[in-house]
Amino acid sequence: MLSVRNPDEIWNWVRQVKEARPDLADFMDFVAITGLRLNEAIKSWNLIHRLARQGKLSEYYNEEREALEHFRFKELFIRRTKKAFVSFVPKNFMERVVNSERLGSSNNCIRKRLKSVGLKMRFHDVRKAHATILTKYLRQPEIDFLHGRVSTNIFMANYFNQL
């Protein structure tokens, strides 16, 4: 299991980013809520914006379950070794995401913004802190599922439910 010795240090970094770059505040909250890898978070963020503009957000966001269903976009989120199946995001926060600015399409768009204010990239640590918090509420198999550390076959056999 990934863990962080001092998650408060990471959450302080998130606060520093939000203060130094208010244009990234909602995105930083999105990364903290979902625990997605940076490139997955950018893809998800931009997909939300694209689908919302097209009136098709329900193809990605299951409002009843308050979940982003990444598995519906295999080409973006299901890779050989790194996967994202589902992220739980409250409805009221989704409204903030939809009403915020779209990001560039690569990690560089974030890297440049952080570099301009003298902050390092620590997104991998945010993901570890997210996992650390989850250990208080979930079992290891559930955390592995949420962090995409199960095979696609296991996901389809045990978690996927078309209801």
pLDDT per position as a tens digit, 5-60: 677 899 999 999 999 999 999 999 999 999 999 999 999 999 999 999 999 999 99
Full-model pTM? 0.85
Q: What is the CATH number of the domain that holds 74?
A: 1.10.443
The answer as to whether 2 is a domain residue is no
Note the pLDDT of residue 53: 96
pLDDT tens per residue across span 67-126: 999 999 999 998 878 888 899 999 999 999 999 999 988 889 999 999 999 999 999 999
Tally of domains within the chain: 1
User: H or E element: which one contains 152?
Assistant: helix 152-158
Note the pLDDT of residue 159: 47
**Domain limits for position 146:** 7-158
The answer as to whether 23 is a domain residue is yes
Task: Give the closest residue to 155 by CA, choosing from 74, 101, 93, 91.
Answer: 74
Can you name the residues that pair with 69 across neighbouring β-strands? 86
